Amino acid sequence: MAQTTSFTLNGRPAQVAGDPGRMLVDALRYDLGLTGTKQGCGAGLCGACTVLLDHEPVPSCATAVADVAGKSVITIEGLMKGGILDPVQQAFIDHHAFQCGFCTPGMILTAYALLRRRPGATRAEIVEAMEGNLCRCGAHARIVAAVESVAKGGVK
């Protein structure tokens, strides 16, 4: 008998049918159509697939569907509110903090979680918090600048 896993996704009830041992990134992308979550290494090492689980960043390629039962999952699609980008998203645009954009959803969600916890995070805290998110395009300097601008009150 098919199993169903229920959780909250971007503030709304969601369900995924099938093997609860499957990885969350696959359920998000292929069952639920949320392709903003990217899969890079598939081994919990690059941060491309980062989502927030109960407000903490986790690699969705290394998180089983069963692990999110009854919990809150936020993906990049859940950050915009009322048609307005989250300040972290806007800062990435303002600072040109991406090239190919593959790492961007994970970067933004990791930064969003940090600033929720530490609104005035220092540059060193930003760098430390984002250590697990890799950018193959080498946009790290602009990424840190974008996050720092939000921590300093949105100053570009």
Taking the C-alpha atoms of residue 116 and residue 27, their distance in angstroms, rounded to an integer, is 26
| Contact call for residues 34 and 117 (beta carbons, < 8 A) | no
Q: What are the tokens at 7? A: 């959780």
Residue keyed to tokens 């069963």: 66
Within 16-45, which residues bind ligand FES (CB under 6 A)? 39-42, 44-45
- Cβ 125 to ligand FES, closest distance in Å? 21
**Shortest distance in whole angstroms from residue 76 CB to ligand FES:** 14
Strand positions, DSSP E, 41-153: 50-53, 56-59, 72-74
| Residue 102 near ligand FES by CB under 6 A | yes
Residues near ligand FES (CB under 6 A), total: 22
Q: How far is the CB of 133 from ligand FES (least distance, A)?
A: 9
- Residue closer to ligand FES by CB (options 10, 63) is 63
Least spacing, CB of residue 55 vs ligand FES, in Å: 19
CB of 120 to ligand FES, least distance (A): 25
Torsion of CA 124, 125, 126, 129, to 10 degrees: 130
CB 142 within 8 A of CB 97: yes
Distance CA 60, CA 43 (A): 10
> What residues numbered 70-89 form the site for ligand FES, per CB under 6 A?
none
Work out whether 109 is an interface residue with ligand FES (CB under 6 A): no
Q: Which residues bind to ligand FES, rule: CB under 6 A?
A: 39-42, 44-49, 59, 61, 98-103, 135-137, 139
